[in-house]
């Protein structure tokens, strides 16, 4: 058996208290090899100070709480808790918290078209039993 664990973990606290953190990228601390994930908080009326796009990576924005607006190319859409938006690399984007509510969201970044299989095509049912399985 190898001494290297097949997992890494962290805890960023409760999302309720996330406003103190602002922005946190977890790729390095979790030693991610196929994605980057960040957790972000914008106070009421706060916005990212630039519009950006990507070279290769698509982004998945997952709104955890609050409200905001999202500029996607020439369109502005409303964001609220539960909103999930996939953004293609070339799309020009900027996010803003609502004027009356802050927003907390996760952003998962992965290389566009890199996923070759998932879930049922990639998962393997193992013979091992967890301690809580009879
Ligand atoms: Zn980005």
CB neighbour burial string for 83-92, b if at least 16 within 10 angstroms, e if fewer: bebebeeebe
pLDDT in tens, 45-68: 999 999 999 999 999 999 999 999
Residue 45 is encoded by which pair of tokens?
């009326």
- Residue 129 CA to ligand 1 centre (angstroms): 40
Least confidently predicted of 3-7, 25-29, 37-41, 124-128: 3-7
Which 3 state secondary structure label does DSSP give 121?
A: helix
- Residue 42 CA to ligand 1 centre (angstroms): 15
- Residue 26 CA to ligand 1 centre (angstroms): 14
Q: What is the pLDDT confidence band of residue 117, given thresholds at 50, 70 and 90?
A: very high
pLDDT in tens, 56-100: 999 999 999 999 999 999 999 999 999 999 999 999 999 999 999
Q: What is the pLDDT of residue 15?
A: 78
Report the residue count for the chain. 134
**pLDDT above 60: residue 2:** no
In 26-102, at which residue ranges do the beta strands (DSSP E only) sit? 36-42, 57-72, 75-80, 84-87, 93-97
- Residue 54 CA to ligand 1 centre (angstroms): 6
In the chain, at which residue ranges do the beta strands (DSSP E only) sit? 23-25, 36-42, 57-72, 75-80, 84-87, 93-97, 103-111
- Residue 91 CA to ligand 1 centre (angstroms): 10
Which 3 state secondary structure label does DSSP give 18?
A: helix
CB neighbour burial string for 106-125, b if at least 16 within 10 angstroms, e if fewer: bbbbbeeeeeeeeeeeeeee
- Residue 35 CA to ligand 1 centre (angstroms): 12
pLDDT in tens, 8-47: 998 888 877 777 778 999 999 999 999 999 999 999 999 9
Q: What is the pLDDT of residue 18?
A: 75
Q: How distant, in Å, are the alpha carbons of 52, 91, 93 from that of 27?
A: 20, 23, 22
- Residue 132 CA to ligand 1 centre (angstroms): 40
pTM of this prediction?
0.90
Separation of alpha carbons 35 and 38, rounded Å: 10
Q: 110 forms bridges with which residues in the sheet?
A: 58
């Amino acid at each position: 058996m190898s001494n290297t664990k097949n997992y890494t973990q962290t805890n960023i606290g409760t999302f309720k208290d996330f406003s103190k953190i602002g922005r946190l990228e977890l790729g390095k601390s979790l030693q991610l090899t196929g994605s980057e994930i960040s957790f972000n908080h914008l106070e009421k009326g706060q916005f990212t100070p630039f519009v950006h796009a990507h070279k290769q990576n698509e982004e998945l924005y997952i709104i955890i709480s609050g409200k905001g607006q999202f500029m996607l190319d020439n369109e502005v859409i409303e964001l609220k808790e539960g909103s999930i938006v996939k953004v293609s690399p070339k799309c020009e984007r900027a996010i803003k918290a609502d004027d009356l509510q802050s927003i907390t969201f996760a952003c998962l970044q992965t290389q566009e078209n890199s996923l070759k299989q998932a879930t049922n095509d990639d998962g393997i049912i193992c013979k091992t039993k967890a301690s809580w399985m009879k």
